[in-house]
Structure 1
Amino acid sequence: MNLLTTILIITTALSLILAAVSFWLPLMNPDPEKLSPYECGFDPLGSARLPFSLRFFLVAILFLLFDLEIALLLPLPWGIQLTLPTVSFMWASLVLILLTLGLVYEWIQGGLEWAE
């Protein structure tokens, strides 16, 4: 067997063993004392689970999406290694145009509007 097959077998076996052990371990017994937030020995003043605005979540997802696209765009000239720099420029321009179209689509759909 070659090294890749050996590593694949070991990682698969280890994953299956860890998954089986996690089912056999005793389950946690939740009670109100364990589920309450710890506040330095004081009684909790209120619930620690506050409602989370969906707008913050959508803005965070959009930021991650566009940030990841830009991070993938930066090494593009070295990654494709084309002989003509104009072809690399055209590919980078295509990615930027698609990214801009996605941003315009989100704007039109109201994903960037904060107040309703």
Structure 2
Amino acid sequence: MLELLGSKAATLDGRLRDGSAFSGDPVETLSKTLVDHGHNYLGKELLYSGVTGEPLEAYIYFGPIFYQRLKHMVVDKQLKSSTKVSHHIFSTVIKLPTISRID
């Protein structure tokens, strides 16, 4: 939550911000930056319907945030299985010879 508030403030004033919880910028400083640029001090946004143009009944808390993909995906681990391959037609497990194993 603090990272999102910091990244939103950073995009508005163009300064680098620290979004960590322990040594980052204080919430008051980030909120003041948002208010100075005409936004809600908590970072909430009022969205409007794309169909009717009316405002939605809830405030939405969104903004740019860092996302890191998990490196060890299940599909990768399944493809690296070195001894057995499942055959979808027969629903059986086929044992591969050592030479043709997928590494």
Q: TM-score range by the shorter chain?
A: under 0.3
Which TM-score applies when normalising by structure 2?
A: 0.23
Which TM-score applies when normalising by structure 1?
A: 0.22
